[in-house]
Chains A and B, each alone.
Chain A
């Protein structure tokens, strides 16, 4: 990859340039000295004091529904306390626009994996996605996908890393399925034509990562998620699976027995409502980054607004670990145009250290994400050793170390997406470090699932991908999300297809939506808003101040 060479003036401020000189001055010594890993006690103290999950600020109590009394980010609570988009509309559920065996809501990696499996199991499959097929956080996963397929590694080692990383809250059966299906997931993707980084003899190149005791991360340069998702999307097309794009699901439809039986859809471009009836439903709607919990910027896709959580919750499903959010330690802090954009963990995996304004390495670069993010927050706000950026602070990610360790050209070959992203703004990460600060990356929890990807409370409803909760406990490791998307996407597709074979759909109802709204009214919670919001509002209020 040869990015366009541009001759632009330095984008850094004098303060930043002065700090860069300090980073350069310590680089030689740092290359010889790996920073110490924190002890379990040190980690606990750091998290307690600096990780947003561990305080009460920014959280509020869910007042109704299965998780009543528990805390959630206040933006999520507001969604759960808001009215339905179809509130007061008397939709005729007999006018069915789509009738299918398996309805999949969401067109990212999990939705696509589920669709392929359900189709191959003989089901009639319909995918609805509120933007385009493939538009998802899966597409943006840069770093890689975990699987224990090397001799020095095992599913047990993978299990241990993920269980400790998740602070022992992972549901054991789910985590077992994840790690036991790792090698199979990679094999499946390879058979579909995903181009993994390999050695000459076909051995997978595997990389280290935060909290990983083995080099277990498989990658496709730094386009891992994009490469996987575009292949899956192509396969979905090749299999002739019906895709309805620019069409959001706004509520689940149940049947008179309380089983999932479809969804109310809405054309995002025209506002037209459509009714989809299905024998089984898979929610694969992804995450919530665009809700900007605690005011953080996000690495997430435009459509990451927790839709699936809201719909499933209204229908009676419970959430699990909805109060735990993953802040990726290295979101871009500068320039402003890239604020919050992901700098993949692979950058640290191949050698870049986290450095403060004085040129000191203040944390081991491969601590788990929650620990590394907390260390950055502490460095900036408590130690006051961050680098000033407009509107805040950041720390350096010392990328030139990568080329010194691995030789010239390593960044262009291993991190072409990152190189291109910064080069666009005149920053050559081969020559200068880049500025980072934690960014909202992932919802660790979601709708609680059981061993076959099902929910315990509603029959014929399955959840896959980031919308599901339980696999990762209270903190996910890098590369386990792409794996989860594939493994639990496939599982949900298989389970939904199997259930569809015997499912009998009773008459359709939206009574659960009405009942939920009466709870909102009874508790006097109404926020005045509707949910799911489907898209964030970044539009300036052009009429602000124009009314008397």
Chain B
């Protein structure tokens, strides 16, 4: 006999096999998911979930696709949270201390309650990356927020109405574009190709017969 668990989706009781995830347990219960289901492997943030275990006070925050059901679990899903996206032009903005203040001024209303960190489904130090953003240390903010999957739970918990994931995203874009040293060799190669420097060699290779191509392929050297 399969071991079963008693769980509650949006307050309604279901018995489900105890080795299922919250997501597959919902499907076992009869839900055909449209919202709140994306990559199913923990990368897309579509399936943020908040749960509490019966008899306990503390809420837990998780991705429904990555979390096993537990006995007495009361689950609410958070398929969407209205984040405040701000439009900006990456060519215009620069990684100055002011830029974050101009685009996401609400981060300066952070009261340091740490609710964001406590609610992160990925275990990230969210308040810390917001602090880095506030002081203009975008590289640190980028690094600390890198594993964010944008489930939005932190923003749902934030008393200062911060859209944390968007702050992290801006910091990462600033870092990728302006702070990390540019890859000169990549730009150079792109320019060389555009100028046609590889055209003749490519034409020559493409003119080879399948047999010649096989010969080249089977005997090519490998970089160690």
Contact = CB atoms under 8 A, between A and B. Distances in A.
Interface of A: 1-4, 40, 131-132, 134-135, 139-140, 142, 147-152, 154-157, 159-161, 163-164, 168, 172, 176, 180-181, 183-184, 186-187, 190-196, 198, 200-204, 208, 213-215, 221, 223, 225-227, 230-231, 234-235, 237-238, 240, 246, 268-269, 299, 301-302, 336-338, 341-342, 416-417, 420-421, 424-425, 535, 537-540, 542
B44 A140 contact: yes
B41 interface: yes
B189 interface: yes
Contacts of B32: 535, 537, 539
Given A213-B223, A336-B19, A139 B44 contact: yes
A269 B34 contact: yes
B149 to A, nearest CB: 7
A235 B90 contact: yes
Nearest to B170: A234
Interface in B162-178: 169, 172-177
Interface stretch (B3-11, B108-116, B206-214): B206-214
Point out which of A140, A269, A421 has the most chain B C-beta atoms below 10 A from its C-beta. A140
Contact of B186 (A186, A208, A338): A186
Contact of A135 (B31, B39, B146): B39
A193 B30 contact: no
Given A155-B198, A192-B90, A230-B169, A3 B123 contact: yes
B147 A223 contact: yes
Nearest to B184: A202
B143 to A, nearest CB: 9
Contact of B44 (A134, A157, A164): A134
Nearest to B144: A1
Contacts of A235: 90
Contacts of A190: 176-177, 182-183, 186
A183 B189 contact: yes
A302 B176 contact: no
Interface stretch (B21-29, B49-57, B70-78): B21-29
Contacts of A193: 90, 172-177
B181 interface: yes
Contacts of B206: 159, 172, 176
Contacts of B189: 147-149, 183
Contacts of A538: 24, 27, 33
Interface in B41-73: 41-44, 46, 66-68
Interface stretch (B81-89, B129-137, B153-161): B81-89
B185 A176 contact: no
Contacts, number: 225
A201 B181 contact: yes
A160 B172 contact: no
A238 B21 CA distance: 36
Given A168-B214, A181-B193, A184-B194, 6 more contacts: A135-B46, A184-B190, A238-B90, A337-B68, A539-B27, A540-B27
Contacts of A195: 142, 146, 172, 175-176, 180
A184 B189 CA distance: 8
Nearest to B31: A539
A168 B169 CA distance: 41
A471 B216 CA distance: 20
12 contacts: A149-B190, A155-B193, A156-B201, A181-B193, A193-B177, A196-B183, A204-B186, A238-B87, A539-B30, A540-B27, A540-B29, A542-B30
Contacts of A221: 146
Given A195-B180, A268-B34, A421-B42, A180 B198 contact: yes
B37 interface: yes
A31 B193 CA distance: 39
B218 interface: yes
Nearest to B148: A230
Given A163-B213, A180-B198, A213-B221, A140 B39 contact: yes
Given A156-B205, A195-B146, A204 B183 contact: yes
A131 B39 CA distance: 11
Contacts of B142: 195
